[in-house]
Structure 1
Amino acid sequence: MLLDSASLYFRAFYGVPDTVKAPDGTPVNAVRGFLDIIAKLVTDYRPSALIACWDDDWRPGWRVELIPSYKAHRVAKAVPGGVDVEETPAALVVQVPIIREVLDAVGIPIVGAAEHEADDVIGTLATRTPGPVDVVTGDRDLFQLVDDAHGVRVIYTARGMSNLEVLTGDVVRSKYGVRADQYADFAAMRGDTSDGLPGVAGIGEKTAAALLADYGDLAGIIAAAEDSGSGMKPAARARFAAATDYLAVAPRVVEVVRDLPLPEVDARVASPSDEGRAALQALSERWGLGGSLDRLLTALEA
């Protein structure tokens, strides 16, 4: 099981009241909510291995260079030559190091990669790991990883932890009218305002799906748009002609990286060591983790 960590701790932060605090007054609603999310996932899906995938760079410079608007509306502070600071509530910022500390003590490995997002870490691990693999995220961009033959599915959290949706190839096709391996091309055409991707003007989901059904992939669609004898409607051909520059770079931005040189980690689900338990007891007392940590430990032991 591969966790899109930021997606989940943001969900936890907004799903648990900010009145949940440590003895010293530090907010721990995201920490406790994140632990409860993991406990539920482990209980319901019983993974044999578990990795918390991390955004070492939530807005990689190489993606921004290709499409400058990429996540630009979410930048709180630009850092020349460094990682831009994402607009994040201060009450959540202080909890992220605590989340990392607790995961370390529990024994859940955290894996990130320089100049890459958690999506890319997930894409690499899902591709190189023998299935089955469950990807847990609220980000539909990762639907492109669904692969029934390899046993990769997405556990989608957008409708809440009490209403999780498991996406297989059939589900992706029924929701969007495209195969999972066409989803990245579909997303590039549709665009995504939450990521600052403009898409192809005038091409919505239904049209994008119809074009993929007719021409197979984005390369085939672009070729048809450039061919006056292809049968593509003139209006659609004009829209793709106007989006030539965007389409030259969009696939690389939208597609997750699948070949990062990530280290091997021992991600087997197990109870914490005696040393880990001692550290967890101290963390629990310091941060007031109470029942949330207990529920996670019970789930891991089971």
Structure 2
Amino acid sequence: MAQRPLLLIDAPSLYFRAYFGVPESSARAADGSPVNAVRGFLDMLATLVRTRRPDRMVCALDYDWRPQWRVALLPSYKTHRLAPEGDGEVVPDTLSPQVPVILDVLAAIGIATVGADGYEADDVLGTLATTEPAPVEVVSGDRDLFQLVDDARPVRLLYVGRGVAKLEDCDDAAVRTRYGVPADRYADFAALRGDPSDGLPGVPGVGEKTAARLVERYGSVSGILAALDEPGSGFAPGLRAKLDGARGYLAVAPTVVRVARDVPLAPIATALPAAPVDPERLLELAERWNLASPVRRLVDALANHP
């Protein structure tokens, strides 16, 4: 029998998707508070438990969505997502109050959550994917996490760009097919291409195909920069000028894109419970927030997964 996976959940990625995917008007508590993100998130977890049959699960959290060490290297990092007062991320007013409810429900069920000061959820996921016993399946809509795919361990990315119901189960071949580079070179590729959603400008004039070709030929951004200094290295004059002009950016961008694998984390109880660890608290939360149906679906999924 195949060994069952550890499911690593990119919680912010999923609850943002849930918030925008479930209308507020269809999911409210008795006092009128929206609970659409909570309802959608719990239903996503129930679907994942039913379809992926994990025996372990951890929900990773953003304790620092824009770590200073990344900003110090690249000041533009996520700048466009800063709130006008400059001290936090722009988050919809009706989403923020729902996050503590999600955490309360997860705690009552007994599903582990973990974050780390100074690190993003991506870094927590990267560390757990590297250090926890395999097989591992990472669930996220964040393209940066393609770099975690590792057929040897194995680690797969369940990419939810089109939703959990249409998730894409990605191994290294899938990453190569999508981007033209192996998973372990994705950070170099992304640094070259850029990513406006993270404030990564990329190299002006270098798109996905050129970025993939450069990574395929030179192996990494550092390899590309080294080749630029070699006479007769074969760069077309226009491309050479673009890369030369971006040397400062290229010196730091791969480090910014690369997911940390060594975040200091306390020991985590990853085992999925077959029944809620605090059923009275869970019942209280379900009644208070009008979550009886999604809570029941998740509890049933946990009870019935073999």
- Cα deviation for residue 78 of structure 1 reads 4.9
Q: Secondary structure at the match of 1:298?
A: helix
- Cα deviation for residue 226 of structure 1 reads 2.1
**Could you report, residue by residue, the CA deviation over 1:71-116 in whole angstroms, capped at 9, with x for unpaired residues?**
111111556xxxx311111110110111111111111111000010
Provide the residue aligned with 1:12 in structure 2. Answer: 18
Whether 1:35 and 2:35 are equivalent positions in the alignment is no
Q: Among residues 112, 130, 135, which one is paired with 1:132 in the alignment?
A: 135
Whether 1:253 and 2:256 are equivalent positions in the alignment is yes
Q: Among residues 5, 9, 16, which one is paired with 1:3 in the alignment?
A: 9
Provide the residue aligned with 1:262 in structure 2. Answer: 265
Structure 1, gaps ≥5 residues long: none
What is the CA–CA distance in structure 2 between the aligned matches of 1:94 and 1:213, rounded to whole Å? 45
Whether 1:115 and 2:118 are equivalent positions in the alignment is yes
Q: 5 Å matches for 1:79-228?
A: 84-228=87-231
Moved more, 216-225 or 22-31: 216-225
Question: Does structure 1 retain, via aligned residues, the 8 Å contact 2:8–2:57?
Answer: yes
Whether 1:229 and 2:232 are equivalent positions in the alignment is yes
Q: Which amino acid in structure 1 is aligned with residue 96 of structure 2?
A: V
Question: Does structure 1 retain, via aligned residues, the 8 Å contact 2:111–2:273?
Answer: no
Provide the residue aligned with 1:299 in structure 2. Answer: 301
Whether 1:52 and 2:59 are equivalent positions in the alignment is yes
Identity %, equivalent residues:
55
Q: Among residues 48, 64, 71, which one is paired with 2:78 in the alignment?
A: 71
What stretches of structure 1 move > 3 A for 4+ residues in a row? Answer: none
What is the CA–CA distance in structure 2 between the aligned matches of 1:206 and 1:35, rounded to whole Å? 38
Q: TM-score, normalised by structure 1?
A: 0.96
Q: Secondary structure at the match of 2:95?
A: helix
What is the CA–CA distance in structure 1 between the aligned matches of 2:208 and 2:218, rounded to whole Å? 15
- Cα deviation for residue 212 of structure 1 reads 1.4
- Cα deviation for residue 227 of structure 1 reads 1.9
What is the CA–CA distance in structure 2 between the aligned matches of 1:40 and 1:282, rounded to whole Å? 23
Q: Which amino acid in structure 1 is aligned with residue 280 of structure 2?
A: A
Q: TM-score, normalised by structure 2?
A: 0.95
- Cα deviation for residue 291 of structure 1 reads 0.8
- Cα deviation for residue 248 of structure 1 reads 1.2
Structure 2, gaps ≥5 residues long: 1-6
What is the CA–CA distance in structure 2 between the aligned matches of 1:122 and 1:78, rounded to whole Å? 29
Moved more, 258-267 or 189-198: 258-267
Q: Which amino acid in structure 2 is aligned with residue 237 of structure 1?
A: R
